[in-house]
Copies of this chain bind each other. A is one copy, B any other.
Amino acid sequence: MSEPNESTRPFGQRLRTALDTYGPLCVGIDPHEALLRAWGLDASADGAREFGLRTVEAASGRVGIVKPQVAFFERYGSAGFAALEDVMAAARAADLLVIADAKRGDIGTTMEGYAAAWLQPGSPLESDAVTLSPYLGTDSLHAALSLALQHDKGAFVLAATSNPEASVVQKAADADGESVAERVAHDVAARNIGAPGSLGSIGLVVGATVDRRSFGLNDIVLAGTPILAPGFGAQGAQPADLAGLFGYVASQVVASESRSILTGGAAGTAALAARIDERASLYRGQR
């Protein structure tokens, strides 16, 4: 069997395998304080670790991808990062692809530091892919994008997000009328040229509930680019909406749900697993 996180295959191919095997659902690992309490856990690094390990256990074999939200670990400082390291290691050992939702972005040697943290094999925070923020320009992320390709890792660059205050940045345009989001998408597409298989290793973050065409993100610019789409579940989009929302590029979508699934963990890991099964099958039923 071809294992999704067998590290000798490009991330895009491993992602393709994960999507084909399990469907598009990605389980967010968001140990928000309210969820920790609902699960009977302390709002602490230890609580976040237990929350993450239970989620990994419930997700294993039911979905192909998990997405830990770094902020909810970072709030506990170094102890929180130690918890995150344990959770990511457990997830990768369970053959789950791990997308670290860190939204990092900087330039030059500083960007190299972030790249080494999240994408260098053997790093304590090693993940399969990391989310990046391009306020300094997509090309400022070069150190991470090139390290990703070098080590069969991936990255997802923020393009168009669903929060209403984002449009002042993401819909702003250059003199030719190209929006920031479209420019980011073009820059990312250029990184995927020549990638083997049907899916590149450098992706975009596009909110599920976003009218992506109003950001200039048509199907052509998205061809072959993995799309991480938060906003499914509690945030409004439903599995049945996937094909309608993403059309020709729907097969490239990683549909991320967090709260809609994680609230199920209050009743225990078996209940959480059942919730994941239920949600995952709704997406698979759309194909």
- The interface of chain A, by Cβ under 8 A from chain B, is 30, 32, 69, 71-72, 74-82, 84-85, 103-114, 116-117, 120, 123-125, 133-140, 158, 161, 163, 165-174, 179-180, 183-184
Name 6 A/B residue pairs within 8 A (Cβ), A-sorted: A77-B85, A77-B123, A80-B117, A103-B106, A168-B174, A173-B173
Residues of B within 8 A of A105 (CB): 103, 105, 133, 135
Q: Are A136 and B165 in contact (CB under 8 A)?
A: yes
Q: Are A85 and B78 in contact (CB under 8 A)?
A: yes
In-complex Cβ contact of A170 among B84, B114, B135, B139 (8 A): B135
| Interface residues of chain A: helix, strand, loop or mixed (majority) | helix
Q: Are B140 and A168 in contact (CB under 8 A)?
A: no
A-B contact sample (16 more), CB < 8 A, given A72-B113, A81-B81, A105-B135:
A69-B110, A71-B111, A71-B117, A75-B113, A75-B114, A77-B117, A133-B133, A133-B135, A135-B166, A136-B165, A136-B166, A137-B168, A140-B166, A168-B174, A169-B172, A180-B180
Residues of B within 8 A of A113 (CB): 32, 69, 71-72, 74-75
Give the Cβ gap from A104 to chain B, nearest Cβ, in Å. Answer: 7
Query: Beyond A81-B77, A85-B77, is A169–B136 a contact (Cβ under 8 Å)?
Result: yes
In-complex Cβ contact of A172 among B106, B140, B179 (8 A): B179
In-complex Cβ contact of A107 among B74, B107, B140, B163 (8 A): B163
Distance between Cα atoms of A113 and B82 in the complex (Å) = 16
Assembly stoichiometry (copies) = 2
Distance between Cα atoms of A138 and B139 in the complex (Å) = 22
Give the Cβ gap from A179 to chain B, nearest Cβ, in Å. Answer: 7
Which of A32, A165, A166 counts the most B-chain CB atoms under 10 A from its CB?
A: A165
Distance between Cα atoms of A167 and B104 in the complex (Å) = 19
Q: Are B137 and A134 in contact (CB under 8 A)?
A: no
Distance between Cα atoms of A124 and B78 in the complex (Å) = 8
Distance between Cα atoms of A125 and B70 in the complex (Å) = 14
Cβ-closest chain B residue relative to A69: B110
Query: Beyond A71-B114, A105-B103, is A163–B180 a contact (Cβ under 8 Å)?
Result: no
Distance between Cα atoms of A165 and B104 in the complex (Å) = 17
Distance between Cα atoms of A114 and B124 in the complex (Å) = 20
Q: Are B137 and A169 in contact (CB under 8 A)?
A: yes
Q: Are B110 and A137 in contact (CB under 8 A)?
A: no
Distance between Cα atoms of A34 and B135 in the complex (Å) = 27
Distance between Cα atoms of A179 and B168 in the complex (Å) = 9
Q: Are A172 and B180 in contact (CB under 8 A)?
A: yes
Distance between Cα atoms of A165 and B133 in the complex (Å) = 14
Give the Cβ gap from A162 to chain B, nearest Cβ, in Å. Answer: 9
Give the Cβ gap from A100 to chain B, nearest Cβ, in Å. Answer: 11
